[in-house]
Amino acid sequence: MKKTKLYQVLSNFSLWELRHLLQFVESPFFNRRSDVILLLKQFIAHRKTPRLPFLKDKTHLQHFPTYDKEQFFMVCSRLFKLTEQFLAFRHLKEDPLQLKQNTSLAYRKLKLDSFFEKNIQDAAKLLEKQNLRDSNYFFKTFQLEYERYDYIESHNRTKTSNLQQTIDAFDQYYFSQKLRIACYVEARKSVYKKNFDQDFLSSVINYIEAKPHLQEIPAIAIYYYCYLAMVRSENEVYFQQFRELIKTYKTYFDERESRDILLLAINYCIKQTNIGFSRYIEELFELYKNGIEEGVLIENNHLSTYTFNNAISAALQLKKYDWTVQFIQAYKKYLSPSDQNPISNYNLGRLYFLKKEYDKALDAIYNFSTKDYLLNLRARTLTIKIYYTLGESYADLMESQISSMKTYLHRKEIVGYHREYIQQFLSFLQQIINLPSFEKQKRAALREKIKNSKLLFEKEWLLSILE
């Protein structure tokens, strides 16, 4: 049974959810088959056992002989369909606005006009009461306006039409979603180096530029300025406007979209710091700090290792060492259980390295282990930096680590610019190692070359060891 879709879905249900599903399946409105009810009861009773036992009484259809696979899988199929209906029903029940809309349509089919009008009005009131003003708000507004428009057209053509409101709501929804997707595309281009067909996007941008009132709608403005910050990064005013909009309208978006918006701002700052604009480090730190403290970057009580490490990276660059220790202690519990100790050790290694406590740094990094190839490479890089700093007595260990890292890079599939950054780091480091300290002129030339390099990992450290 474990291979069936039914098992895969039900095994993700809590006991509380399974009991509610049983109530649903036992309702004669949804199901009249006793064999389906028995199957679910058997699953609930034996959900933690390796194989689900079934009664072998041939005289009752609701019992499932192990040799009758066709019958068994037919019952599984019926229960699976009911489970999907239960999920859809539960989702609908949690959305009172959608319930009102659906009820309105039902009343209209029954030709109960006054009931239809009352429910449409109630739905509009519910929509206005909510705090969210995201693209979904405009989509729901469009749906309600269109239902009104269609009703007016079919009942009383002389009545004032709401067609303009319908057009406006749809435009606002479209512009918001178009710009939102454009921002996601732009953010991913730098990683996957793939072009997407967005020919119409320039027309949208030009139209919004010509219509200042659209720039006052948060769901449009926040993505409009985000996109402009990405494609016109030489003009910092776009990012500053985007940043202010995030602060001002953070309650206008649900948790998921708020997190996505914050990550767009974070990724922009990371990109800017990677190409040498160190002034964005403070901005990056504040975005991470506020996003974590406010819970925006914590999803289902979980903090990703990527966010955890990057927040610490920003703090360490700003020499916020005490904050880093407090942060690790306070937030490591939000990491996956298997990551808590190794990720904490890795970041303590980084902290001790910067504080020049190299023995402590090595002790911490030796206890680091992860399947994440990027984190693995960063830990290897830190080890190389420690060995280099400790001098001649660690030269052989450093050379061995560099060789191992090159092999790892060759063997692993590493996405986007990461491979290029790390290969460039290793290349420059090897040049530094091979260049005697008395070659002042050549070292100065190499330092200038590193300084002017656009794509570089650990640039500041490489520059520091050439001083």
Q: Is the pTM of this model over 0.85?
A: no
**Conformation bin of residue 303: beta by default, left when phi > 0, alpha when psi is -120 to 50:** beta
For the ranges 52-56, 140-144, 157-161, 181-185, which has the lowest average pLDDT? 52-56
Query: What confidence tier does 157 reach under pLDDT thresholds 50, 70, 90?
Result: low
Residue 7 confidence (pLDDT): 86
Residue 166 confidence (pLDDT): 96
Number of neighbouring beta carbons within 10 Å of residue 206:
10
Judged against a pLDDT cut of 50, whether residue 58 lies above it is answered with no
CA distance 62 to 73: 13
What secondary structure, in 3-state letters, does the chain show? CCCCHHHHHHCCCCHHHHHHHHHHHHCCCCCCCHHHHHHHHHHHHCCCCCCCCCCCCCCCCCCCCCCCHHHHHHHHHHHHHHHHHHHHHHHHHCCHHHHHHHHHHHHHHCCCHHHHHHHHHHHHHHHHHCCCCCHHHHHHHHHHHHHHHHHHHHHCCCCCCCHHHHHHHHHHHHHHHHHHHHHHHHHHHHHHCCCCCCCCHHHHHHHHHHCHHHHHCHHHHHHHHHHHHHHCCCCCHHHHHHHHHHHHCHHHCCHHHHHHHHHHHHHHHHHHHHCCCCCHHHHHHHHHHHHHHCCCCCECCECCHHHHHHHHHHHHHCCCHHHHHHHHHHHHHHCCHHHHHHHHHHHHHHHHHHCCCHHHHHHHHHCCCCCCHHHHHHHHHHHHHHHHHHCHHHHHHHHHHHHHHHHHHHHCCCCCCHHHHHHHHHHHHHHHHHCCCCCHHHHHHHHHHHHHCCCCCCHHHHHHHCC
Query: Domain coordinates of the chain in residue numbers?
Result: 5-93, 131-253, 259-370, 387-467
For residues 58 and 148, which has the higher predicted lDDT (pLDDT)? 148
Classify domain 259-370 at the CATH class level.
Answer: mainly alpha
Residues 107-124 pLDDT 10s: 999 999 999 999 999 999
Query: What confidence tier does 68 reach under pLDDT thresholds 50, 70, 90?
Result: low
Strand partners, 299: 302
For residues 366 and 72, which has the higher predicted lDDT (pLDDT)? 366
Q: What's the mean pLDDT when you consider all of the chain?
A: 89
Residue 361 confidence (pLDDT): 95
The residues near 355 (Cβ < 8 Å, ≥ 6 apart) are 321
For residues 42 and 67, which has the higher predicted lDDT (pLDDT)? 42
